Chain A
């Protein structure tokens, strides 16, 4: 009978965490940020069908990065939990806190059980309140840790760099257009080379507390996104007029805001995550079966 190698629990957990972290860092980032009338979600996602942001219930939404099949399963479980609670109690009794707890327990149990592979996902559960102060954003990591976030949260891909950019420019009570502009810029500042993302590469949704319907979740279409982005483009951009006229056309990555963006990128370049994403590689599995990178 062979004796199994001894692996210390610390080593075991560290290996599992490294495994999950690496998987998540390979994908592309997603951002949630509070604006004056609600919570905005922006994710870099080239697939129009496989969503990283989705509705859970009246005032609640879900955003995730990592392996699509894993977080999709968690999303469905969340919708089931919310609908079941709402049906057996009342719609008002479905809370983000309860859902975040259930996710945390589930992720934690899977992470620490020896039999299952840790989930390579990071998720956000957001609940929009009657005012900014009552908004709640919970950030959950692969090991079930849960954090209550104020203002903004970034996860997936080179999250630290993107988060630094958002942190530098974020202000409380920012408008929707301003928040959208900031988030899209931040997603482009994820490596030393600044990229200009076009509306078809971005998935956007809001939890809008001013909506008259009970369900506050709303996706923002590519056309609306293109319109808002072209209107909110700062005039100081040293760019040719074509950039203003054709906002939906891909523009040259380096030209936009390159002057003020460069220093911030230099600063955070040292702690760049292990695998900065290569551009022009589709994230959605159907487009390229060889590419198994997480969303």
Chain B
């Protein structure tokens, strides 16, 4: 396990470069993001540990970041002051571009993995905005009417966007549809709904709506997503059966702050929680492991080395399938191999 200390700053997000398996970025803020400056670190993994290649200072906390899919030196940050900034780690101390339209904190940013030339932002102001690096103004604004903690482009369709928000809903937007009264929205799924198919052994303890903090698209099954949030439960959804979750993965003692499906294995995902643990799960869909496409999911292992809220988790896209990075409010970034914590 490798470690990097972000002394004086509490990380909110860690992301692997889509170009190099040795490049990472971490964003966060002083004073837990409540007040004070933000900082963005570009890190290099070396045989001698993690080296800080460069850092940038910002006025306000950075709640999220995403690497550019078109430029290996560039990455975009989500600012507590509502700003988006594009930094170039080969250039200066300031961003090379910036955007300011959101009325409140920007909480997530995501680059389009398919067309690679658009990105999106989601904000506490209840909107998602779609942008391109070349234009000063946003291309599209999607109203969600609830604090949007997480928004993503589908990794399979360049025009499909999903959001999860404070109002306990997973929404699907299709930008190819006409911007009618629905503003491109094609689905709104209540996350707290009971599972569609009763699961043996699962008692629905949901007490109602739960703030949803994070979600991620499965990389191999193009209609499957996972969500997680304040009730500590990870749920998977299949957009072909949108009325309720397909699978439910309880276990975290407090809110789940971030989840990420493996880029290598179709049934595996990682989570980071306010219970300070990061856990690796299977949703039970892997036929080779006894699943039949909709089996029972389970926790396969956990990493419990963080000592404050675990906030960020990401998988390395390249090389062996277990490498990942996590960050937590203990001012640490850890790089480790999931296979070391998995039970047989």
A binds B: no
Residues of B in contact with A (beta carbons under 8 Å apart): none
